[in-house]
Structure 1
Amino acid sequence: MTTIKRTNSDNLDFIKLVKELDIDLGVYYKEEESFYGELNNIDKIKHTIVAYNKEDEPIGCGGIKEFSIKEIEIKRMYIKPNYRGQGIASIILNELENWSSELNYEKCILETLKEKPYAIAFYEKNKYNEISNFGEYAKAKNSVCFEKTLK
């Protein structure tokens, strides 16, 4: 059984999972690591989710960060490799969307890497539509961006 905890970026389990995510992403960033590293700073992420397994071990995370008055950005989605394919990412994403709605945001936006087709397929499966790269990702050649209107 997976349990979900709403927290913030000071949560030690969230910080630990983000460090694992950064190691995982290092393979993709190559010469762009400093660019993406700045954009992935967790200090500005006020709302985070940590998923736990039945032994109460942290197994996945995600966060939301305000992008505009109406838009919230999904950030730092990560599932430990041995827990992937079990629907945990969808549980986290759904909880982030619900929390965004509760905070009165109208749309979720996000960025992922073109070199991660499994991530692209995941967001498409969860009804995200590809959009032009936004904000600081506008000129990032390795990025692909998505949005989803909340109900």
Structure 2
Amino acid sequence: MYRIVEATASQPDVIALIAELDRYQAALYPAESNHLLDLASLPDETLILRKILHLDQAVGCGAVVLNHDGSGEMKRVFIDPTHRGQQLGEKLIAALEQAAAGRACHTLRLETGIEQHAAVKLYQRCGYQIRDAFAPYQPDPLSIFMEKALR
């Protein structure tokens, strides 16, 4: 059975999942196209973080970084490969969106890579649409930028 719960960036299981995600992305893209963010460096009031537990083991995570303008950026969405194919990504994104909307966030944006086909399809299934680069990003041929209005 899977559960989605609140998390913090300092939890060892979250740190391990993010390290696995970083290794995966480092193998796909050069450093200048890896837009990695240290979630632990963010103020608590700007961060929404969730993890997926399976039998009390963390198998996925994702975050939203809230901006002062009512928008947010989805970051660090990752599901352990052995637990994919069970709609956990859709459930995690829905939980993040609900939490963001509850914090007065009206729009979510994200950046993902062109080689992450499953991630792009997941975001599209969840209603995200491709858009131009948004601040602080610059156009990058290895990046795909997406957005969804929450209200």
Unaligned runs of 5+ in 2: none
Question: Which structure dedicates a bigger proportion of its chain to helix?
Answer: 1
User: Compared with structure 1, are the counterparts of its residues 130 and 35 closer, same or farther at alpha carbon in structure 2 (3 Å cutoff)?
Assistant: closer
Unaligned runs of 5+ in 1: none
Identity %: 25
> Does the CA contact (< 8 Å) of 2:132 and 2:139 recur in 1?
no
Aligned to 1:82: 82
Aligned to 1:36: 34
Between stretches 42-51 and 99-108, larger displacement belongs to 42-51
TM-score (norm 1): 0.90
List per-residue Cα deviations over 1:2-31 (Å, max 9, x = no partner).
11111221222211110111111111123x
In structure 2, distance between residues paired with 1:98 and 1:60: 17
Instruction: Measure how far apart 1:128 and its partner are.
Output: 0.5
List per-residue Cα deviations over 1:96-132 (Å, max 9, x = no partner).
0000000001011101001111111111111101110
List per-residue Cα deviations over 1:53-78 (Å, max 9, x = no partner).
1x211100000102342111000000
TM-score (norm 2): 0.90
Aligned residues, how many?
Answer: 147
Q: Which amino acid in 2 is paired with 1:36?
A: N
In structure 2, distance between residues paired with 1:68 and 1:143: 24
List per-residue Cα deviations over 1:29-88 (Å, max 9, x = no partner).
23xx15525x422222622101011x2111000001023421110000000011011111
1:1-151 matches, cutoff 5 A: 1-30=1-30, 33-34=31-32, 36=34, 39-42=36-39, 43-44=41-42, 46-53=47-54, 55-151=55-151
User: 3-state DSSP class of the match of 1:72?
Assistant: strand
- CA RMSD of superposed structures (Å): 1.5
In structure 2, distance between residues paired with 1:117 and 1:68: 31
In structure 1, distance between residues paired with 2:147 and 2:14: 24
